Every structure is written in C-alpha cells, then in structure tokens.
A and B are shown apart, each in its own frame.
Chain A
Amino acid sequence: MTKKEAARVLADAHFRIEDGLERVFIIPGGLEDPGEPIKLLEVNANTVPTGSIEPIPFSASRDIPFVTEIAEISPEEFSRLERGELSLPSGWTLEGADDVPRPQAA
C-alpha cells in the first residue's frame, strides 16, 4: 500500500465514523517521502475551535503502516483559513491537496 492509498483509506474511514466531518484534505507535502507522515486536515462541525491549527502525530498500525498527523478544525476556522486569518503549520499547504469526497454510504 502506498502512502497516498493509505491516506485515502484513512479519509474514507474517518467519514464513516464521524457524521460531522465535512471535508478531509490529504496534504501533498511529503507524500512521496517515506520519512514524512501522512498529513490530514479535517473540517469537523462537531469539534471545539481552538483558534490555531496544531496537528497531532499518531503512530502507525498494521493496516496503516505510516505515521499520521491529523489536524482537526471547525468549519468557521476553515473559513478563517480561506480568508488568510489562520495559517497552516509549516510544511502544510492546500495547494494540490486531495479534497476527498464523502463516500456515498458514509
């Protein structure tokens, strides 16, 4: 499984278990670099805004054999990000990011 495929598996699984998840972006930075984690920016209507975007690194598993960083933000924070009032962490960009559609059954 490539890192890109694993990221897609994760995004689909996240949509299945979180109803409030509106968007999942797979950040392109480091997708080809085995030393870099998978990076997901997730917009969740059910989260509590914190005012900044701080990804958390999580360990790999048998199914997803890559370290994964997840940054969750609220829809309001995403709007602020689009307006340039919030910034992404270093090494993260939405340019070229995969905006994963919610699976039909999720």
Chain B
Amino acid sequence: MNGDRSAAFAAAFFAQASSDWQTYEYLTRAPSLPRCHPLHYLQMACEKLGKAYRLRNPSANVDAIVTRHVGFAQFINEYLRSPPILEDYKGQSARHKTVCKTSSALAREIEKLAPAIDRTHSPENAEYPWERGEWDLGTGKVLVPCEYDYPALSLLDTQGGRAFVKLIERAFRDY
C-alpha cells in the first residue's frame, strides 16, 4: 500500500522535475532575462529530483518527504557516492573529490534558494523580495530577486558548475 503510494509520488515528482529542468534550460538560453528566473526553476527541478529518488524507496516516509524543502543537498552527496558514479570516476579519486566538494557546495546554495529555507541567515531566494540592514540605523533596504545577481551561485558559471549541471543531467538519465 505505502509502496504503491510512494511509487506514484516518485513518478509524479520525477515528471514535474523533468519539466522544471527543461524550463530551466530554456530560460538559461533566453536573452536579457533576470537570473532569478532560471535559478527558480533550477531550485524547483533539483528539489523534486531529490524527492523522486527518495520516494522510489517503497518504505519511504511519503508525507515527510513531500512536505519538506530540504533534502537535495543530501541527495547529491549520496548520489555522488553511488556505485554508478564511483565507477565513472574509477582511478580518479582526486577528481571525484573535487567534483564532490563543488557539487555539494552548489547543492547547498541551490537548496537555500527556496523561500522557506533559512530565511534568517540566507534570506536571498529566487521568488520573493527580502530585507537587509537595520531600518533604525538608516541602512535598511529591500532587495528584489529580479535585480539581484546571486554571487553565491557564480560557481555555476565555472568548470565545476558545468560538471554539476552534467551530474544533474546524469541523475535524470539514471532514474
């Protein structure tokens, strides 16, 4: 019974994650578009992909997995240590370790893009405006996603970022 329910949710999350990922790829190629928009789809695709993998387990706690926003960073760590990825990097431990470090850091930053995650320490998200500074001291201001350049995610534009994107593509193919 739980197995049927988790399998149905897994398939549904995977389908939506695939659609979100296609939209992310489309938006990254769109000229003059604020960065928040592709990042929003990247965050949604990644969150749902991690959930889909987790829900493939017939004894998964469906309600806990479906309702929370964290779990993608953990999924990436586990996927990077899965037998198929270990085989890809056979004899290349140092390279594998580098990919793990970069991908894990990126996954944590992508996870934080969800508005519900860590609003106190990392209010930067891809959807809603947030505030910075102290209004009493005259330094308060409200920042807008469509005007923000997300420096914590500049890693996406590096070689490590491209390796991360390939890793996500591989996770979609492997599913």
Contacts and interface: CB of A to CB of B under 8 A. Distances in A.
A47 B77 contact: yes
B53 A59 contact: no
B57 interface: yes
A19 B80 CA distance: 13
11 contacts: A17-B80, A50-B68, A50-B70, A58-B78, A58-B82, A58-B83, A59-B82, A61-B83, A61-B86, A63-B87, A64-B87
B97 interface: yes
Interface residues of A, number: 36
Interface of A: 10, 13-14, 16-19, 42, 44, 46-52, 54-64, 66, 68-72, 89-91
Contacts, number: 98
Interface stretch (B59-67, B133-141, B151-159): B59-67
B147 interface: no
A57 B56 contact: yes
Output the residue of A13, A54, A64, A68 with the most chain B CB within 10 A. A54
Contacts of A89: 57, 59
Contacts of B78: 42, 56, 58, 70-72
B167 to A, nearest CB: 14
- A contact face: mostly helix, strand, loop, or mixed: loop
A16 B174 CA distance: 24
Nearest to B82: A58
Nearest to A74: B74
Given A17-B97, A70-B78, A90-B59, A48 B83 contact: no
Interface residues of B, number: 35
B83 A59 contact: yes
Contacts of B97: 16-19
Contact of B74 (A19, A48, A91): A48
Contacts of B59: 89-91
Given A48-B111, A51-B68, A56-B57, A72 B83 contact: no
A14 B81 contact: yes
B160 interface: no
B74 A69 contact: no
B51 to A, nearest CB: 10
Nearest to B69: A50
B83 A18 contact: no
B120 interface: no
Given A59-B174, A61-B87, A72-B74, A13 B64 contact: no
Output the residue of A46, A56, A57, A91 with the most chain B CB within 10 A. A56
